[in-house]
Structures are given as structure tokens and as C-alpha cells.
Structure 1
Amino acid sequence: MKKLFILLFALVPALGFAAGGHFTLDKANNDIRDKESLQRGAQTYMNYCFACHSTQYQRYERVATDLDIPIDLMRENLMFDSEAVVGDLMVNNMPAEDAAKWFGVAPPDLTLTARVRGVDWLYTYLRSFYEDPSRPFGVNNVIFPSVGMPHVLQELQGVPKPVFETQVIDGQEQQVVVGVKADSTGELSQSEYDDTVRDLVNFLEYAGDPVQVERENLGIWVLLFLVLFTGVSYLLYKEYWRDIH
């Protein structure tokens, strides 16, 4: 299901990620080796994020190959530009200059977001939107106060209500939002929504470092070779110095 219309509202001046205050991040516990998770994450990303956020350092064909997605399915379900070919970079059709002129800033590319922010930050951020009528899009974020984008996954989660806690700040008691609790209007249960976000974060981690698994696998063989080489070198050393001593 291609839900691009949801993303057309995701542009505002403060769209770029900004740091929040002090907060405890939830653990994403994603698995970059889980290809089924990566496939689901790619689907969620293309349906809910891609209309505004490109991954311009990735190619459709590379994603399809790495995630074992047949090219035909990639074209049919994950390529929304009718003129794009599988070898193209994953860039959406929203002109950056026009977006900056219309909204003050162009939507950030998300290819390297997981590497810059970390997967735990992304996982917590996407689960920390809450209803706030004072904001332009009616939502705010626990770890990103005054967030400048809508909660594009709200139809999956439902309407997230803020959870308040009384805290003493500068000698005065204040109600502070410390969490969220979604109502029952979403398409997914809370655990299902958490899994969907985890898959999305998993895909973004892959997008930021697509050779991570290959590099780690190669690293194991390199270490084994070094251990073997060290052993052989030691035996040669012993043999060479045996007659001398």
C-alpha cells in the first residue's frame, strides 16, 4: 500500500533533527543480519518516509540485491517514480531548492542518520510523539521538543497521549511529559508498532553502512588468518634460532 499522501505534510522549517534535553534512550535491539526485518523496514520507509526524505547514497538495485528482494517486486512496490530505473540512486522528486523556499529548509537525507544519531535515538524518537494541540501539526516529541514534523506513523500507532510527571524545576513543581501512551485507534498493537519501528530503524542502520555485515564476516576470517600466521611465524622463529642457540 503506497501511502505517499501522508508524507506530503512532513515539511516544516524545523524539519531537521535537533538534540533534545537529557533523556534515557530505549534499546532498539535491532538485528542488521535479519533480512526479513530489513525488507519490512524498507517497505515502511518507502511508504511513510521516502516522499520527503531521500536516501541519496543508496541505489534501488543495491537494496534489492542485499535484501533479497526480486527486482520485479522492487519496481512494483518500492519504486514510486515511474521514470526511475533500478540502477538509480534513491532520490525522491521533491526539489530541494523549492522545499527550502517553501518551508525554510529542505528535508534532510536519511542515509546516514542512524550512523549520526544512533539506532537507539531513532527508535526512541519514533516512539515518542504525543498529541499537542499547540503545535502546528498537533504533535510534539518527548526527546525532541517542538518537533517540526507530523507523526507520520500515527495511523499505525494510534493517537499517542502524553504521560505527565510532576518534577521540581528551578524550585517550582511543573508537569513534565515523560512518556506516551497510545489509544486503541491505530492499526497495530503497541508491541506490533514497536516491532515496525524496530524494522524501520534496522533498515536505516543498513542504509548508512550497507557493507557492515560483509565487513564483520571478513573481519572474522582476517583475525583467524592472523592467529594462524602468528603460529606459523613462531614455529619458523623457533626453527631458525634452534641451531644458533
Structure 2
Amino acid sequence: MYSVRMRAEKGGRHISGAERLVSEEEIQDSVQSLTGRALSHERGKPDFVNISVEAVKSPVKNLASLPVILHNAGNVMEGRNAARRTLEFLGIPGFCIQKALSLLENGPSDGQSMRGAIIMDMQGNRLEPDRERGVRATRMDITEKAAGELTKSLSGKGLSSYFTHVKEALVLATKVASIDGTVAELCWSDDPYYTAGYVASGRTGYIRIPYLKENGDSNGGRVFFVDNINIPGYINEIENKPVLIDRFAGIREFTDFHTI
């Protein structure tokens, strides 16, 4: 198995990134697909595209996806309140929640989005070594069978046009939630016209919230809330341990926390 990764920038600013875990026979098609994606992103045409192909030498960990929970927030205020309530339910201190929301709203890297994620402990400390790059979860993918089940489920909810966004977010959230020390994740996209985001954890699943920012806003990112971790070991698992989602755990509407 091989990891095929794409990173695109414009003027040193992150534009897009994506990854596949594929067989040797699928490398060429994956490189072509990811290159096309890099050159047609809504955040602009990049002046730098990097494609890397690397053999996966560690054993691949197979996981079932987190269940997808659909929240029905109707605007950004409702969405942010839903995110706060979910994070509070998971035990994240209020001041950490507010700091995380502010960082994503204003740009976590000196007012700009960054390629990777913030790691924040329960005291509100940022633990990622590089605050421009962040920590980037890599070496992960989903099988065709599980992706097909996700496609069918999203179509049944009228969300098929968001398949790529949801698929990639769900894969990442599932990997991160599976790592010891992860309490929760908060994320919304830096794509300017994709307003949705999510809160995810092993306890709650992947809660998709349709409005976490205003349309046209290019700020976004993700925060991994952690507790009692060995920082180098945690980052190594995030960045280097391969994960393949081979089962889809289903989709349902959010009602209340008692049903999660």
C-alpha cells in the first residue's frame, strides 16, 4: 500500500491538501486526480503543488467510522452554540472552547489558516511545535465499500453534493478520535463557500453542523482537545500511523445528547 499526498499553496499560503491510501496499480490515477483537484480549488489557482508517493511500511489499522450525526442549526449563532454545548458535554472547559473558537474565527496562524491542526490541552495551552504548520493528520483513507455506504446515506439526506467534504472530514475525525488522549475535535473548513463544520469524539460521533461560519469567510481550521498525552508520541500517531476506514457506522439526525 502507498500513501499519495497532495499539498497546494499560493504565495506561501495553504490552498488545499488531500490524501489517498492506494495499491501500486492505483498510484497513477490517484496522482492525476489529486493534481486536478489542486489546480481547480475554489480558494484559487496555486503556484506550488507537491505530490508525494510513499510506501506504507507500518501495519494498517482498520477502523469503523464514527457515526454521522446531523445537527439542524439554521445559522452561525445556532451552530456555534451547538458546538459549545457539545464540547461542554464532553468536559472541555469553557475558556478552552472560547479560545478555540476565537482562533478558528480569526485565523490560527497570525490571522491565516494553517495546513495542520492546533493541539490544545485542558488548560488552554497550545502544544503543537510549529504554529504556522500545525499538526497534519495523514496516512488515512476509506474503502470503496464504506465510501459507497456513506454516499448512499448522504443522498438519502439530500447531502450528496457534500460527499467529498464529509468523507474526508469523517476519515480524519475517526482517526483522531481513536488515538489515546483525544477528548474532542472542533473543525470548520477554510473553503470560503463551505460553511459547515463539526464536533467529533469517540463518545458523540461525528456531529456535522451546517453553519459554523458565514458564507465567503476563508478562515477555518481544526483543534484537537487532548488530555494527559505524550506530545511526541501523540503527534507521531496523528501524522504517521496508517488508518483505513472499512466500515460505515451509519447516519442519523441529532435530537439530544441522551440519544448519542
TM-score by structure 2 length? 0.25
Give the structure with the larger helix fraction: 1
Greater C-alpha Rg: 1
TM-score by structure 1 length? 0.26
